[in-house]
Structure 1
Amino acid sequence: MTTSAFWKATLERMVRTFAQAVLAAVGADGLGILDVDWGEAASVGALAAVLALLTAIVTSGVGPAGPGVTEAPTRRGTAGPVA
């Protein structure tokens, strides 16, 4: 969490999440571009970006090193999953 690479990746994730949330908020209305409540869409995007930031901070360096939740555990010295 103290590296510039962490903050660069986190900022990129926040911007991407902001854009996705704004697109979802705009698309949910099914209105024309002039009819969109841009303040509300930006607010939804900002909240999503803050949540992405908090997620990055909370998950940085937490827990022991090893496989993530979606990775199969392996036996020491083997390349395959535990059978």
Structure 2
Amino acid sequence: MSFLTRAFVTATVERAVKTFAQSLAALLAASGAGLLAVPWLTTLSVAGTAAVVSVLSSVASSGVGHPGPSLASEGVEAAPAAVPAVARAA
């Protein structure tokens, strides 16, 4: 199963965390309420639901197209072991 690889799980978790954060930010901005007046339980619940949908979407698309959690042409690649240092110009 292609969705049980470490790279796939890492990419899926990253997508879910980003989706949660983006949903939370959108809900906070749209509410127009102050930080203390926000209905936190509802807001966190909706953002959490968006993250769950993101994970389900990634799993559902795991067997389609390129390897990875996306239906787009991006694939899951292993990260380089180390980033080479860039020489500074004198």
TM-score tier (shorter):
0.7 to 0.9
Specify every segment of 5 or more residues in structure 1 that has no aligned partner in the other structure, as ranges: 72-83
Distance in 1 of aligned mates of 2:27 and 2:48: 12
**Structure 1 partner of 2:55:** 53
State the one-letter code of the partner of 1:22: L
Distance in 2 of aligned mates of 1:64 and 1:18: 25
Distance in 2 of aligned mates of 1:70 and 1:47: 23
Q: Give the count of matched residue pairs.
A: 68
Specify every segment of 5 or more residues in structure 2 that has no aligned partner in the other structure, as ranges: 74-90
Query: Once the two structures are superposed, what CA deviation does each residue of 1:28-69 show, in whole Å capped at 9, x if it has no partner?
Result: 11111011011111001110000000100000122589xxx8
TM-score, normalised by the number of residues in structure 2: 0.67
The one of 22, 40, 43 equivalent to 1:41 is: 43
Percent identical among aligned pairs is 43
Distance in 2 of aligned mates of 1:30 and 1:36: 9
Distance in 2 of aligned mates of 1:15 and 1:63: 23
Distance in 2 of aligned mates of 1:56 and 1:63: 12
By how many angstroms is 1:70 displaced? 7.0
CA RMSD of aligned residues (A): 2.2
**Structure 1 partner of 2:33:** 31
Distance in 1 of aligned mates of 2:16 and 2:55: 6
TM-score, normalised by the number of residues in structure 1: 0.73
